[in-house]
Structure 1
Amino acid sequence: MNWTALWVFIGVWVLTGLATGLWMARKGHDPRWTLIAVILGPLFVPIAFERIERNPRSVTSEPVAMWGAGGEESGGLRVMVGFDGSKEAEQALHTARQLFAPGGGVLELVAVVSYDDASDIDSEVLAGAKERLEAAASGSEEVPVGYAVIAGPAGQSLRWFATEQHADVLVIGKRGRGMSNRMLGSVAAYLTEHCPVPVLVVDPAEHASTDDKQSAPVAMRVPAEEVEGP
Structure 2
Amino acid sequence: MGTLSWTLLLLAWVATGATAVVLLLHRRGHREGSWLLIGAVLGPLVVPIALERAARTGRRLERRVARAADPAPARDDRLCVLVGVDGSPESEQAVRDAARLVAPAVGRLLLVTVVDPDVTEARDGGEEQRRRARELLEESARALSATAATVETEVVAGQPGPCLLQLAEDEDVDLVVVGRRGRGLSRTVLGSAATTLSSRAGRPVLLAAPPGARP
Q: TM-score range by the shorter chain?
A: 0.7 to 0.9
Instruction: Give the Å deviation of 1:20.
Output: 2.2
Q: What are the superposed Cα offsets for residues 48-101 of structure 1, whole Å, 9 maximum, x if unpaired?
A: 3454452112111114778xx99942x411010000122211111011011111
* Residue 171 in structure 1 maps to residue 173 in structure 2: no
Q: Give the aligned residue type for 1:2.
A: G
Q: Distance in 2 between matches of 1:164 and 1:84?
A: 21
Paired letter, 1:89: S
Aligned match of 1:128: 132
Amino acid at match of 2:157: A
Asked if residue 140 in structure 1 is aligned to residue 112 in structure 2, the reply is no
Quick one: distance in 2 between partners of 1:71 and 1:198? 26
Counterpart of 1:129, as a letter, is A
4+ long deviations beyond 4 Å: 49-53, 63-66, 69-72, 179-182
Please provide the CA RMSD for this pair: 3.0
1:70/1:194 Cα in 2 relative to 1: closer, same or farther (>3 Å)?
Answer: farther
2:81·2:106 contact (CA, 8 Å) conserved in 1? no
- Deviation, structure 1 residue 194: 1.0
**2: distance between equivalents of 1:181 and 1:126?**
24
Q: Which runs of 5+ in 2 are unaligned?
A: none
Contact kept? 2:91, 2:182, Cα under 8 Å: yes
Distance across 1 between alignment mates of 2:185 and 2:62: 17
Question: Alpha carbons of 1:186 and 1:104: their partners in 2 closer, same or farther (altered >3 Å)?
Answer: closer
**Once the 2 structures are TM-superposed, how far is the Cα of residue 8 of structure 1 from its aligned partner?**
2.9
Normalization by structure 2: what TM-score?
A: 0.81
Contact 1:59 1:118 in 2 (8 A): no
- The 2-side partners of 1:71 and 1:185 are apart by 42
| AA of the residue aligned to 1:157 | C
In structure 1, what is the equivalent of residue 110 of structure 2?
108
> How has the CA–CA distance of structure 1 residues 171 and 179 changed in structure 2, closer, same or farther, with 3 Å as cutoff?
farther
Q: Which runs of 5+ in 1 are unaligned?
A: 208-215, 218-230
Measured in 2, the distance between the counterparts of 1:147 and 1:114 equals 17
Q: 1:148-171: per-residue Cα shift (whole Å, max 9, x none)?
A: 011111111111111111110000
